[in-house]
Chain A
Amino acid sequence: DSGVTQTPKHLITATGQRVTLRCSPRSGDLSVYWYQQSLDQGLQFLIQYYNGEERAKGNILERFSAQQFPDLHSELNLSSLELGDSALYFCASSGLAGGGDTQYFGPGTRLTVL
């Protein structure tokens, strides 16, 4: 158990809808990262927050947004969903703002868009 929790575990929704994925980092970790992993695809970095502030941005679509709250949990909002958004979404946390730090991954949320 990495100490990172993600809810929900599974999510099935329809195209055009909006969903929110939630992540609670390990106790004491200030950085939260979001990744998307499609079938047979590598981990695609979406965005990183550090202590409530956006730290780095990857290939995140404009339809997606995220935030980190004062209690350090984070939410990833996906809107106007398309079939291609079906994927595993992972959240990871670490103690530092930048590199050289281990990332601890949550169990993921499996999103299915029908």
Chain B
Amino acid sequence: SQKIEQNSEALNIQEGKTATLTCNYTNYSPAYLQWYRQDPGRGPVFLLLIRENEKEKRKERLKVTFDTTLKQSLFHITASQPADSATYLCALGGGYQKVTFGTGTKLQVIP
């Protein structure tokens, strides 16, 4: 069955450093991958979408890579700030398949 793995352990990082979060998947050939941010008790907020034919996408301090051979996406936040502290979810989908979310990685940026 389809499986999406995100590091369940929290990632603690010093302010100003680059945070890198990983999303691995198996038994899946997604046409696209999305990253969302979720704050406690609130709904996820869309950040970036990358398609299977794209290797990298950037938006301000965010960068996403998508390696369909490794079945992995990396999500980078450069010059991290305490306000970036949240849980980050990756989501995969394609065609008319339902979007499947990973369990998320909690990022804590320490001042």
Contact = CB atoms under 8 A, between A and B. Distances in A.
Interface of A: 2, 4, 33, 35, 41-43, 45, 48, 55-56, 58, 88, 90, 92, 97-100, 102-108, 110
Given A48-B98, A99-B94, A99-B96, A105 B103 contact: no
B31 interface: yes
30 contacts: A2-B43, A2-B45, A4-B43, A42-B89, A42-B101, A42-B102, A42-B103, A45-B100, A56-B96, A92-B43, A97-B96, A98-B93, A98-B95, A98-B97, A99-B31, A99-B94, A99-B97, A100-B32, A100-B51, A102-B34, A102-B49, A103-B91, A103-B99, A105-B43, A105-B45, A107-B43, A108-B41, A108-B42, A108-B43, A110-B41
Given A43-B89, A99-B32, A102-B34, A58 B42 contact: no
Nearest to B98: A56
Name the residue among A35, A103, A106, A108 with the largest chain B CB count within 10 angstroms.
A103
A43 B93 contact: no
Grouping DSSP codes into helix (H, G, I), strand (E, B) and loop, the B interface class, with mixed when no group exceeds half, is: loop
Given A100-B51, A107-B42, A107-B43, A41 B98 contact: no
A105 B42 CA distance: 9
Interface in B71-111: 89, 91, 93-104
